[in-house]
Amino acid sequence: MNKFTAQLQQFEHAIGRLRDVLALPKNDVVRDSAIQRFEFTFDLAWKTIKTYLGEQKGLMCNSPKDCIRAAYSQQLITYDDAWLAITDMRNETAHTYNEALAEKIYAQLPDTLQKYQELYASFKAAEN
Q: Which residues are catalytic?
A: 90, 95
Write the DSSP symbol of residue 57.
Answer: I
Question: Is there a contact between 74 and 58 (Cβ–Cβ < 8 Å)?
Answer: no
- Nearest 5°: CA angle at 92, between 41 and 97? 100
Do the beta carbons of residue 121 and residue 114 sit within 8 Å? no
